[in-house]
């Protein structure tokens, strides 16, 4: 039914801006880590000072382009929704992580990056954390992926070792798997034992997929949504104690090793030269690692945002900026670095341009094409601002090297401070966002703040989809 509806929508679709690249369509490997801070990889000054070198991550940056100002949403679900749809999470009703149970996630009306690539002739697969709906009709297989293996999220694994949970016999979290056109099936229980093993299994499954699809004529898209480095921090048995510098260093070594194995699989399959490899994360680091009255779930281990202030669930740069590197040999200039603003939403239209895919024209679309920028054809990004959301609330706007905010909080469970007059931060001279410089730089706020109004105007034409919206969904008549 969804394919039929999309066929009817094709007249409303136009070719993505710019001509499709003349060469054979590239394969795409998109690696998306979970709550992985800006300051973790060596290419951002982390690596060995975090207890483990990150040669695999660093090689992607060295052989391609590193962005120091790559932005995401402040929570897992809106971040992943933005990545998949090219739209702010609030537009699809995914502006916050689900906490009340029931149906959530993306409606069938959304056209995901996987569906765009599928329509452009790609084989598609997803391995890892989804967090965009965990029921029939909303699994990855229902949103453009030919096959998937993964989990809803990871914090649920902590339930399984809590005495009170065990006493009540509550249904455990599951690892699910499936293929397009069939019902998903349970692959196993996602408990603390499997928490340690899952990223290794995800890596092996992704490598198997690369090997299988590299022999076919059609290009492939692999969305590899690794569960590291989300709480609880439990390294794979092969890496526990390997660094001698604690759990976090062990997990960092593990994560880099798995990234290296994926890239090596491309080399071994002979497809590296025409494969785009993207390395990034959904959010900045977590504020704390959770404990329990029943058992200490995660001994001392803490991610880092580098020089930036804040963690996920905050409007600060430590929440919004994450590591980003992209490699495409011969197309993206090796060793290039930029501090221009780019958002995860931009990957959708950028890849659409590269592969000759289609962008929907019947909805608000927030991503912008960055292909010329990434290819070194221009020095500036096609984006100069990002609206800063926290749930369904706009906390402020980031414009060029400035950020104007009306609300601030220090974490998911902290009180929010609201300012009648916006605070203005100079992100170049004050990366810690500590000093309000509205005076004497009122001109920067005057440039930034109207962008919020322009953004809000779009909801008059394209209202946001309500959270928990059931299928079928049709937008209100205009």
Reported as a single tens digit per residue, the pLDDT across 314-357 is: 999 999 999 999 999 999 999 999 999 999 999 999 999 999 99
* Paired tokens of 431: 């990366």
Mean pLDDT of the chain: 93
pLDDT band at 206 (very low <50, low <70, confident <90, very high): very high
**343 has catalytic annotation:** no
Question: 329-334, long-range: CB within 8 Å, 24+ apart, which pairs?
Answer: 329/63, 329/272, 329/273, 330/273, 331/21, 331/375, 332/64, 332/65, 332/374, 332/375, 332/376, 333/64, 333/65, 333/375, 333/376, 334/62, 334/63, 334/64
Q: What is the pLDDT of residue 478?
A: 74
What pLDDT score does 10 carry? Answer: 42
Q: What is the pLDDT of residue 102?
A: 79
Q: What is the pLDDT of residue 414?
A: 87
Asked if residue 2 has pLDDT above 60, the reply is: no
| Of 353, 360, 390, 370, nearest in space to 462 by CA | 360
Furthest-apart CA pair in the chain: how many Å?
A: 61
Pick from 1-10, 84-93, 186-195: least confident = 1-10
- What is the mean predicted confidence (pLDDT) over 182-190? 98
pLDDT at 80: 98
Mapped onto helix, strand or coil, the DSSP state of residue 113 is helix
Catalytic annotation on 230?
A: no
Q: pLDDT band for 288, please (50, 70, 90 cuts).
A: low
Q: What is the pLDDT of residue 302?
A: 82
pLDDT at position 412 = 83
Q: Is 307 exposed, middle or buried (0-12, 13-18, 19+ CB in 10 A)?
A: middle
- What is the per-residue pLDDT for 294? 43
CATH 3.30.1120.10 domain span(s) along the chain = 386-461
Average pLDDT over residues 383-406: 98
Token readout for 316 is 């600060």
| Mean pLDDT (whole number) for 132-149 | 98
Q: What is the mean pLDDT of residues 87-108?
A: 92
pLDDT at 308 over 50: yes
Q: Is the pLDDT of residue 9 over 60?
A: no
Residue 50 has a pLDDT of: 97
Burial 315-342 (b: 16+ CB within 10 A, else e): bbbbbbbbbbbbbbeebbeeebebebbb
Please tell me the predicted confidence (pLDDT) of residue 399.
Answer: 98
Q: With bands split at pLDDT 50, 70 and 90, how would you rate the model's confidence at 300?
A: low
CATH architecture, range 386-461: 2-Layer Sandwich (3.30)
- Average confidence (pLDDT) over 85-99: 95
pLDDT at 22: 40
Residue bearing the bigger pLDDT, 289 or 433: 433
Q: What stretch of H or E contains 128?
A: strand 123-129
Average pLDDT over residues 237-243: 97
Q: If you classify domain 26-383 with CATH, what class do you get?
A: alpha beta
Catalytic residue among 76, 230, 343, 385: 76
Task: Give the active site residue among 131, 230, 236, 343.
Answer: 131
Within the chain, all domains assigned CATH 3.40.720.10 are found at 26-383
Q: Is the pLDDT of residue 298 over 80?
A: no
* pLDDT the model gives residue 274: 97
């Amino acid at each position: 039914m969804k394919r039929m509806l999309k066929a009817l929508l094709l007249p409303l679709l136009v070719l993505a801006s710019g001509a499709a690249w003349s060469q054979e369509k590239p394969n795409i490997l998109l690696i998306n880590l979970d709550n992985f801070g800006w300051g973790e990889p060596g290419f951002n000054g982390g690596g060995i000072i975090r207890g483990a070198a990150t040669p695999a991550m660093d090689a992607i940056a060295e052989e391609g382009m590193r962005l120091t100002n790559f932005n995401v949403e402040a929570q897992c679900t809106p971040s992943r929704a933005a990545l998949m749809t090219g739209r702010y999470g609030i537009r699809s009703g995914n502006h916050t992580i689900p906490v009340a149970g029931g149906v959530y996630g993306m409606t069938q009306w959304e056209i995901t990056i996987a569906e765009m690539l599928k329509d452009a002739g790609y084989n598609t697969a997803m391995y890892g954390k989804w967090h965009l709906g965990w029921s029939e009709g909303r699994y990855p297989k229902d949103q453009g992926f030919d096959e998937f293996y993964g989990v809803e999220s990871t914090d649920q694994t902590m339930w399984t070792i809590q005495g009170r949970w065990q006493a009540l016999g509550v249904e455990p979290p599951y690892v699910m798997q499936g293929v397009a056109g069939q019902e998903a099936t349970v692959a196993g229980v996602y408990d603390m034992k499997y928490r340690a093993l899952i990223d290794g299994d995800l890596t092996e499954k992704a490598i198997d997929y690369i090997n299988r699809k590299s022999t076919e004529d059609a290009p492939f898209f692999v969305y590899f949504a690794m569960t590291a480095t989300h709480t609880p921090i439990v390294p794979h048995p092969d890496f526990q104690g390997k660094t001698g510098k604690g759990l976090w260093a062990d997990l960092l070594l593990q994560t880099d090793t798995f990234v290296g194995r994926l890239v090596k699989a491309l080399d071994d399959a002979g497809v590296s030269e025409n494969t785009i490899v993207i390395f990034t994360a959904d959010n900045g680091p977590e504020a704390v690692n959770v404990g329990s009255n029943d058992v200490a779930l995660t001994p001392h281990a803490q991610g880092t945002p580098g020089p930036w202030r804040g963690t996920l669930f905050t409007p600060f740069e430590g929440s919004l900026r994450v590591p980003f590197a992209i490699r495409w040999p011969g197309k993206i200039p090796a060793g290039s670095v930029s501090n221009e603003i780019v958002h995860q939403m931009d990957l959708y239209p950028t890849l659409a341009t590269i592969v000759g895919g289609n962008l929907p024209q019947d909805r608000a679309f927030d991503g912008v094409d960055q292909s010329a920028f990434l290819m070194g054809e221009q020095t500036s990004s096609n984006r100069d601002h990002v609206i800063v959301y926290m749930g369904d609330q706009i906390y402020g706007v980031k414009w060029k090297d400035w950020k104007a905010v009306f609300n601030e909080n220090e974490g998911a469970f902290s009180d929010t401070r609201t300012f009648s007059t916006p605070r203005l931060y100079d992100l170049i001279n004050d990366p810690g966002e500590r000093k309000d410089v509205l005076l004497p730089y009122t001109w920067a706020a005057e440039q930034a703040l109207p962008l919020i109004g322009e953004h809000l105007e779009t909801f008059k034409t394209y209202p946001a989809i309500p959270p928990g919206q059931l299928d079928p969904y049709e937008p209100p008549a205009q």
